[in-house]
Amino acid sequence: MFYCGYRYFCTCFLQRLHKELHAHLNGSVSFSTIKKLVARKPHLNIEHGMTAIRSGQRRTLDECFQVFKVIHQLVDTEEDILMVAKDVIREFAADGVKYLELRSTPRKEKTTGMTKRRYVETVIEAIRQCKNEGVDIEVRFLVAVDRRNGAEVAMETVKLAEDFMLSTDGLVVGLDLSGDPTVGHGRDLLPALQKAKNCGLKLSLHLSEVPSQADESELLLNIPPDRIGHGTYLHPEVGGSQSLVDTVRKHNTPLELCLTSNVKGQTVSSYSQHHFLYWYQMGHPSVICTDDKGVFCTDLSQEYQLAASTFNLSQEDMWTLSQKAIDCTFAPDLKQQLHQKWLELRPTHFVLVK
């Protein structure tokens, strides 16, 4: 049990109502998986402290991206990718996540011979193996464009994503735009993003992660994306603008909100100042996510607990928040099934304890 304002919630309640829509594969690698990877590559001299930001620690965005580079050194073969993806899927399932959208940028490794196509194929194989092994979770994949790699690579990635969308029976559902938000400008990526949307890929775009990106955000919002990652500086109270908010609301574009990630990455000063409340109070579609559960030492249950305790949300509030997230998923074939599962998972014993 944990205390939440004047309410107590059963931990079991918070561990049974999840959908994770913003999870980067390599950033989600847990301590136990890191140990296995380090054992495979002792010559790298990598310690767990180099791959995670513990409780009470904070890092700049640049320092966070340095952590991801360390993890990439550990994950450079198809065997590594398969183990990592399966471990991440199982861990989300163990936390009560019933629907998961993973995202990752395809990587080529000259030293090991791994190609970008084999990278994606290996992630898909991990999803299928977990399904065949009876892991209780539905998983879909978003191929990610790293904005640091420029327009030409972005177009190549879109073509790769389109190929897999057409050949994986619905497992590849969309395209993610991510990477260091201080590098490059979204205008250079517009042709690739528009091509992705035109061919049927859903778009989840990291937007307004740092201040002074209003012009880029306006360009990208007018595509429009199907979901927004973070959106930290969209609203006028933190330097955004009402026109950006109006555009988001006009398209009813859901936001993927990651509390711990934003606080530890110092794009938000504290949990109480998180922009979750701004969007939640106006009733805008918002989905609680982890971003990088391994790097930020969290899980989805913890993120729900933080939202509930910080903003004094009731059990009913949390249930509704989770259920509404079903309509934000990128797998239309599963929405009816997920809604039915949520009805079945709404047991009468989830009551407030006085």
- Asked whether the beta carbons of 218 and 235 are under 8 A apart, the reply is no
The identity of residue 277, as a single letter, is: L
At 72 the three-state DSSP class reads: helix
C-alpha 307, offset from chain centre: 16
In whole angstroms, give the CA distance from residue 2 to residue 96: 18
Query: Quick one: CA dihedral 272, 262, 322, 28, positive or negative?
Result: negative
Which position among 209, 216, 316, 344 bears the catalytic label?
209
- Structure tokens of 288? 């609680």
The CA-atom distances, in angstroms, between 105 and each of 108, 146, 161, 344 are 10, 7, 10, 36
3-state helix, strand, coil in the chain (%, to 5): 50, 15, 35
In whole angstroms, give the CA distance from residue 149 to residue 319: 40
Angle of the 31-40 helix axis to the 78-94 helix axis, nearest 10: 160
Nearest-5° angle of CA 173, CA 178, CA 182? 165
Active site residue 209: yes
**Which stretches of 40-171 are assigned E, i.e. beta strand?**
97-104, 138-146
The identity of residue 179, as a single letter, is: G
State the number of CA atoms in the 13 A half-sphere of 207 facing the CB: 32
Phi, then psi, of 107 in degrees rounded to 5 = -120, 140
At 284 the three-state DSSP class reads: coil
Catalytic residue list: 209
